[in-house]
Each structure stands twice: as structure tokens, then as C-alpha cells.
Amino acid sequence: MRKIVDFVKGIFIGIALVIPGLSGSIFAVVVGLYESILNAVNNIRKEFKKSFLFLLPIVLGVGVGILASTKLVLWVTENYKQQSYFFFIGLVLGSLPLILRKIKGIKFKPQYLLITVAAFVGLMLISFLLTGNVDESAAKLPKIEKITGVDDVLVLTFAGIFSCATMSIPGVSGSVMLMVVGHYGSVYNAVGNCADFLKALLTGNLDEAKVAASSILVVIPFMVGAVVGIALIAKILVYLLKKFEAQMYYGVGGLVAGAIVTLLAEAVKDPSFSFSIGVGKFLLILLIDAVLVVVGILCTKYLDK
């Protein structure tokens, strides 16, 4: 049962990795896996079997979440953005009891509150500076559709190292980091083709499978870079959690609060979130959004068992 729950948690993390503005590491905090994942990655050489068996269902879940997100979830978030983001807000709100449990036994010091505020403000600035300077529609176009030389391999490997190292920090969106280096479209176009490849194989359409397979190679150097990036940053983050546990969790609290505000800011951009559509319709939308927040909180509560 534990493995199944971890698999489902992995799916949520995978979904968050794909959608620009969402943070996979925040969702790892939300479902109570962040510290455990860091420790498993950090100890994989010393305790290979234990770490591998722990990470396997999570990684499989992340893979399923990413494959689903490139088609289905991205369509849902683009066509029902407001409702999707209120559900995500509920998921993040549901993580607050987990963080409170972590800091409950820590003696409070005034400087810890300053760390919370600094983390909150820092995330707001990062969100504004990065997402404000990225043209999402342009960034979603693939620059590399198939490997044509060593340059493509090196560029994609760097994109993997950079985006996955930075996204390991709670609050940082890996998708936005990929947009910053200009390869969100390249990577997720290739991931989408992985889904098309599997579908073509299952339906016996070999011609379509061959076409999709040519771009799947784009994923390989990116994944190599991703493993390197996560391995490098995991050691640093595990050290910080051991030496500065109180400061880290008060900081994570600030990042979670910042994530809620960021998601809310995205949700209310929807044109339907306005009295201009009529008071009755607006109140109905508010009710639906409130229900989705509650559903999100309940999902996190269940996953935190």
C-alpha cells in the first residue's frame, strides 16, 4: 500500500514539473516526500538497494505524471486554468500541517520569522522576474526536434543540469527554468512524442512509431543532465537540512506561502473571475473554486497518511 501511495504522490510531482509556474519540489514538500527523496538520492551509492526501492515507485509516478501532463493536464490547465489553479492551491494549503509538525519541536527564535518573510519575498521576486520576462507561447516551441550533432547533446545536457538543480529548491519551477534556457518546447515536445510512440506501438502503427521515435533521443541527454543536476544539489540540501533544520523549514514555510499567492495570482487572471460576467455566475464560480480548494486539501491529507 505504501508503494502505491508513493506512486500516486509521484504523479502529482510529475504534473507539477510540466506546468509552468508550478514547483515539483514544493509538491514533494506537499506530499511529504521532499526530505526523504533528498536523503535517498544522497545515499544511493551507500545504500543502493534501500534507496532504489524507495525511489522506484516515486520515479515511475513522476514519469506517468509527466506523460499525462504533456497532453491531458496541459490541455486542462489551458482550458480550465482558474479551476486547475484553485485545486493546486488546495493541494499546497494541505501541506501546511506537515510543515507545522516539522517546526513544532523547534524552539522559536525571532530570526526564524525573518527567514520565513525573506523566503516569501524572494519567491515573489523570482516569480515576477522569471515569468515576467519569459514569452510562454514562444518558449513552448521546440528549438531542437531531433539530435543533429554534439552541440545539441551538450545543450540539452546543460538544460537538464540547470533546470533540475534549480527546481530541487522548493518554490522554483523546473518548467520556467527550462523556458529561461530556451528548451521547454524541445524537452516536452520530445516527452509528448514518447507518449505518441507508446500509443503507436500499442495500436500497431509502426510508421507513426518510427516518426515519434526519432525525437525521443532528445530526452536522453536531458535526462543525463537531470540526474547530474539533482545529485549535485541533493548533497548541498541534505547538508543544510542537517545543520540548519529550523531555518530550512521556516524558509520552506515562506516558500509555501509564496507558492499559494503565486498560484492565486495566476488563477484570478482568468477573464471569468470578474463581476462583469454577472453576480450570479461569479458567485457560482467562487463556490466551484472553493470546493476545488477543499478537494485539494483532502487529497494532500490523504497522501500525507
- CB-based burial of residue 261 (10 Å sphere; 0-12 exposed, 13-18 middle, 19+ buried)? middle
The pLDDT assigned to 56 comes to: 93
Comparison of pLDDT for 180 and 213, the residue scoring more: 213
- Cα Rg for the chain, rounded, in angstroms? 20
Average pLDDT across the chain, whole number: 80
The total of other beta-carbon atoms located within 10 Å of residue 120's CB is: 21
The pLDDT assigned to 58 comes to: 93
Residues in contact with 241: Cβ distance below 8 Å, sequence separation at least 6, in sequence order: 35, 38, 248
Q: What is the pTM of this model?
A: 0.70
Grid coordinates of 96? 501546511
pLDDT of residue 167 exceeding 90, the answer is no
Give the domain range for residue 254.
Answer: 2-303
The pLDDT assigned to 294 comes to: 93
Out of 126-130, 176-180, 194-198, 218-222, least confident range: 126-130
The pLDDT assigned to 137 comes to: 55
Are the CB atoms for 20 and 136 separated by under 8 Å? yes
Q: Give the closest residue to 212 by CA, choosing from 70, 51, 32.
A: 70
pLDDT of residue 55 exceeding 80, the answer is yes
Per-residue pLDDT averaged across 186-215, rounded?
77
Q: How many domains does the chain have?
A: 1
Out of 30-39, 181-190, 277-286, least confident range: 181-190
pLDDT of residue 248 exceeding 70, the answer is yes
pLDDT of residue 130 exceeding 70, the answer is no
